[in-house]
Structure 1
Amino acid sequence: MSHPGRPSFPVRAVRNWRLPHSPRSAGRARALVRAQLAEWKVATEIAETAELLLPELMSNAIQHARRPSGREIGVRVARYDGRLRVEVADANCALPQARTATTEDEHGRGLAIVIALAVSWGCCPRRYGIGEATWAELELPPSA
């Protein structure tokens, strides 16, 4: 059964990680995804954009995920039909909300960055358990 927002077609390549619910995990996720994208030979510009989007999704998950049930954050990167998807799953059932940050705000720009840089983005229920997964997609060149 497919979930809204999940590709309903075959994924060409996928990698999953489970990281601790900790601010340090955003950097760890970025390093893991960077290595995976290098292995898949994803174009530098696309990889750098994915590396920018992922910590924004991670920060949101770390800030809003429920604890103690939200002890881990799931990270997924997938390549399929000309798209690259980065996805973060947490134990928060609330949908992410974009907001307009003021110049004095220190937070609140993450989802605006995702919206500006991604070809598409969204969220869907976690495959297993409580919470949701928020994802962002980038287009891959035809040769990818």
Structure 2
Amino acid sequence: MQPMGSNELEVVGHWAHHPRAVGQARAELRKALAGWGLVTVEGTAQIVLSELLTNAIRHTRVSAGQEIETRYLCEGDSVRIEVHDASDERPELRNPSSEVAHGRGLVLVEALADRWGVTPCPVVGKSVWAVCALEASECIPGSTGRDLEDIPGSNDSPGVERRRGP
């Protein structure tokens, strides 16, 4: 792991292409959510991050020295979790049979995140992202969040977005 970069609304991490990175990234997400007052989404956000980062580690091939980047963005009453990797291959949502041990990561992300998607990076790779929001009853009155349009890069490239039902 390399040192984390951060500002008030964004935390960036760089991780080795190794399963141990998942636990380290979860610890950084936990700290960020506590700092933003979003601890009530921690359980959901931790699972979503684990699945996205595990997919990047398991399914992407990288050259020695390349890392996977995570970004956690506070968007008012929600957190946007991004996992950037150097592979152009897009993840696919599958319906694995009960006999298969793997393949349920994006099924969990689909079920838990308020919305998620894939955005190609301008030069190489992609960003797989998900947004986990507080329930309306948990929101702080008067709080304001940033729209996705306010986040650099969120609308720069065509991508795929999936939203959880109404």
TM-score class normalised by the smaller sequence? 0.7 to 0.9
Partner of 2:78: 83
Query: Could you give the per-residue CA deviations for residues 77-99 of structure 1, whole angstroms, max 9, x where no partner exists?
Result: 00125331111010111111011
Distance 1:97 1:69, change over 3 A: farther
Deviation of the 1:69 alpha carbon: 6.3
Distance apart, 1:117 and its partner CA: 0.6
Greater C-alpha Rg = 2
Q: Normalising to structure 1: TM-score of the pair?
A: 0.83
Match of 2:124 in 1: 130
Greater RCO, CA 8 A, separation 6+: 1
Residue 38 of structure 1 and its aligned partner are, at CA, apart by: 1.2
Q: Deviations over 1:31-90 (max 9, x none)?
A: 11011111212132x111101110100011001222216721101100125331111010
Aligned residues: 132
Q: Which residue of 2 aligns with 1:20?
A: 16
Q: Which runs of 4+ in 1 moved over 2 A?
A: none
Aligned to 1:8: none
Residue 26 of structure 1 aligns to a residue whose secondary structure is helix
Structure 2: unaligned runs, 5 residues or longer: 1-7, 144-166
Q: RMSD between aligned alpha carbons? A: 2.0
TM-score, length-normalised on structure 2? 0.73
Q: Percent identity?
A: 38
Structure 1 alignment gaps of length 5 or more: 1-11
Which residue matches 2:36? 40
